Structure 1
Amino acid sequence: MQLFLMRHGEASFDAPSDRERTLTHHGRYQSGQVGEQLNSRISQLDLVLVSPYLRAQQTWQVVSKHLPKAQKCVVLDDITPSGDPKSAADVILAYAEQYKAETVLVITHMPIVGFLVSELVAGEEAPIFATSAFVQIDKHMENASLIDMNLPQVS
């Protein structure tokens, strides 16, 4: 399975709650750029798992314009910023197995996205993701390896 873990695009802090933060203009631009990059790596998209937070949903709306149509898209409460990384990793893998997904995109937040990397790839430290950054993990059975880290510098 090819697993792509992505952090949402840049978001505004002007919102009534963290859940309701929206992407900035720059965040939409970033997400579109990453969508184009992912397009060269993803020929089919079996499963998308996206946080219920507005900025993650908006990121998916932008990214999806550049990718093949997803076979299945699930809004997943387990991948919000305060989610438990071990539990989230288990849920992601369970969904992938349930839908027999070979290509999975997860759109989530810091800090959980970094911790997911260390949960899914033995020996990897949790990286810090800039907005719209992603990693690609090749996951087969109990083994996983980090294929690529598209992690621009956090500004």
Structure 2
Amino acid sequence: MKLWILRHGEAQAHARRDAERELTAHGREQVLHSAAQMLGEPLDSILVSPYVRAQQTAELVRKALGFTSELIVVPWLTPDSEPKYAMSKLPDSGHVLLVTHQPFVGDLISLLQFGHLREPQPMHTASLAELEGEWPLAGSMKLLSVRHPR
């Protein structure tokens, strides 16, 4: 199994609600830079947070990669989601991209890589992590790379 985890691009500082914050122009550029890192990689699905900035990020990636399947919106990829619960919801095979938020993203990577939450992975806006393993279980995946946009 291959798992990519992408933090959304830079978003507006304020909106009526946090979930409604949109990407900035710089954030869109960041996302396109990160999407370019995935060109040529096989991808089975894109799972995305219901928050606007994550949805915009996922749509930019989908278009940049020419990915024709629909985005799969899931409620367990928000900033305050529980990583252990989210891990139990991950597909158990394939090539999957998650588009989500900090602090959740750093905690999920730590859980998948080390089996605990004590070493969250630093993830800037539009940072892209690539993990690989037999199953998406705590401590069972290897972190292959983390790429930060310029």
Letter in 1 for 2:144: I
Structure 2: distance between partners of 1:45 and 1:57: 17
Secondary structure of the 1:105 match is strand
Q: Paired residue for 1:147?
A: 144
Letter in 2 for 1:22: E
Taking only aligned residues, the RMSD between alpha carbons, in angstroms, comes to 1.9
1:88 aligns with 2:80: no
Letter in 2 for 1:112: F
Asked if structure 2 preserves the Cα contact closer than 8 Å seen for 1:47 and 1:70, the reply is no
Structure 1: distance between partners of 2:57 and 2:69: 18
Structure 2: distance between partners of 1:88 and 1:23: 24
Which of 35, 46, 53 aligns to 1:48? It is 46
Structure 1: distance between partners of 2:4 and 2:96: 6
Percent of aligned pairs sharing the same letter: 37
Offset of residue 146 of structure 1: 0.9
Asked if structure 2 preserves the Cα contact closer than 8 Å seen for 1:11 and 1:24, the reply is yes
Letter in 2 for 1:85: P
Offset of residue 73 of structure 1: 2.9
Offset of residue 68 of structure 1: 4.2
Structure 1: distance between partners of 2:81 and 2:105: 10
Q: CA distance change for structure 1 residues 46 and 71 in 2, over 3 Å: closer, same or farther?
A: farther
Offset of residue 122 of structure 1: 2.1
| TM-score (normalised: structure 1) | 0.86
| TM-score (normalised: structure 2) | 0.88
Structure 2: distance between partners of 1:115 and 1:47: 22
Q: Paired residue for 2:130?
A: 136
Q: Paired residue for 1:107?
A: 99
Q: Paired residue for 1:4?
A: 4
Q: Paired residue for 2:109?
A: 117
- Between 64-73 and 131-140, report the one with greater CA deviation: 64-73
Letter in 1 for 2:131: I
Letter in 2 for 1:29: E
Structure 2: distance between partners of 1:123 and 1:87: 13
- Between 52-61 and 123-132, report the one with greater CA deviation: 123-132
